[in-house]
Amino acid sequence: MDPAVSATHCAEAKVSRPDMSLEYTAFQFTIPSGNTTISVVVHLSGICRAMPGDDALPVTVKCPGGEDKFMPSGDEAPRTLAGHSGGVNSVAFSHDGTTLASGSSDKIVRLWDARTGKALRTLAGHSRTVEAVAFSPDGSTVASGSDDKTVRLWDARTGEALRTLAGHSWPVDAVAFSHDGTTLASGSNDKTVKLWDARTGEVLRTLAGHSDWVTSVAFSPDGRTVVSGSGDTTVKLWDARTGEVLRTLAGHSGDVYSVVFSPDGSTIASGSADNTVKLWDARTGELLRTLVGHTEDVNSVAFSPDGNTLASDSKDYTVRLWDARTGEALRTLAGHSGSVMSIAFSPDGRTLASGSRDKTVMLWDMPIKEGGGRNL
């Protein structure tokens, strides 16, 4: 069977699993194959099963309407990192790509060897759910934000707790380092963004302006601007030096759960509870396009290192890949059995990590064309 086939019928449905007290998305495709018709069903594991024919096979299905749905199995299936006893809320790669951090509802931060998937160390100290993790640019420090209202800094090599940053009055949902590593931003349910001196832990300034919880923060590549997403449905741009609000981007009809700058700083992507991803001109605030495809909340967005691809994940249990320039839907990755909460590209763009409420991290191979670009 060819790795890419055209489906005469594409159905997507919620399948109830009473034995596991959950629902998951299943895809069924009717595919002509010679003189027979093959029905392909994607099971909870994400493995593609076909009857009659091979028991399991990788396939890219060309659905009516043009969207691809990629269902991996065998050697092409994602690697699964298991170890957390609670849902995985955040994932982040070190800047050399060797280490992956994950934060979980089990109150733990785990560090993994990104190549082998081996668990390296466990960072314990938070007293409640870990909502966010981030590496410093030099890879020496891991920051974590928690429902215990604190940000913690850890030695990435030894796992030693370096410092606890206290100042937020409600849970901390987001953390991000500036690209020079000197400043750490945190977003909280207390409706504020705080900027901290990453070396001393001193609060540099508090950015107040959102009318609901701050769910996500990110720095522009030049470090001059901070972007934040909020439950008030807006995206705000702030002057990192003065704390002044530069611009408010309005357009989502639900909580904004994730914001990120493109690698060149020209575009901002936002993911929302309104099931959409929006792309904005970072300089003017103009809405460039809206990406529609997820069937439930979009929890996280991430640009590939070259800026050509945008990934999004969702409460619908999938990860979607989009052409960042045109907004074209490229591929849907199905494999998790719970809401996908966080995604991150490796620095070389060859791997996409996803963390889920199903307590696992999955590592997806992103094929690279000869000459550099991704072969999607």
Distance CA 345, CA 349 (A): 6
40, 50 contact by CB (below 8 A): yes
- What does the alpha-carbon distance between residue 361 and residue 353 come to, in Å, rounded to a whole number? 7
Mean per-residue pLDDT for 217-243? 98
Q: In the prediction, which pLDDT does 51 show?
A: 34
Residue type, position 180, single letter: D
Residue 373 has pLDDT above 90, yes or no: no
The 3-state DSSP class for residue 74 equals helix
Report CA-CA distances (Å) from 72 to 122, 228, 295: 30, 34, 21
pLDDT tens track for 315-371: 999 999 999 999 999 999 999 999 999 999 999 999 999 999 999 999 999 866 544
CA pair distance 256, 208, nearest whole angstrom:
17
| DSSP secondary structure, 315-369, as one string | TTSEEEEEETTT--EEEEEE--SS-EEEEEE-TTSSEEEEEETTSEEEEEE--B-
- 118's enclosing H/E stretch is none
Q: Is 158 exposed, middle or buried (0-12, 13-18, 19+ CB in 10 A)?
A: exposed
Q: What angle do CA 334, 335, 337 make, to 5 degrees?
A: 115
Peptide bond into 52 cis (omega under 30): yes
pLDDT > 70 in the chain, percent: 77
Residue 164 structure tokens: 């606890």
pLDDT, residue 72, reads 52
Q: Residue 80 in contact with residue 329, Cβ under 8 Å?
A: no
Question: Percent of the chain scored above 90 by pLDDT?
Answer: 76
Cβ neighbours of residue 34 under 8 Å, at least 6 residues apart? none
**Mean pLDDT rounded to a whole number for the chain:** 85
The string of pLDDT tens digits covering residues 182-207 is 999 999 999 999 999 999 999 999 99
Res. 8 pLDDT band, cuts 50 70 90? very low
Domains and CATH numbers, the chain: 4-76 (no CATH), 79-365 (2.130.10.10)
22-33 pLDDT, tens digit per residue, is 333 444 554 444
Task: For residue range 35-91, list pLDDT tens digits in order.
Answer: 444 444 443 334 343 333 333 444 445 454 555 555 554 445 799 999 999 999 999
Q: Write out pLDDT tens, residues 274-330.
A: 999 999 999 999 999 999 999 999 999 999 999 999 999 999 999 999 999 999 999
Give this prediction's pTM: 0.81
DSSP state at residue 140: S
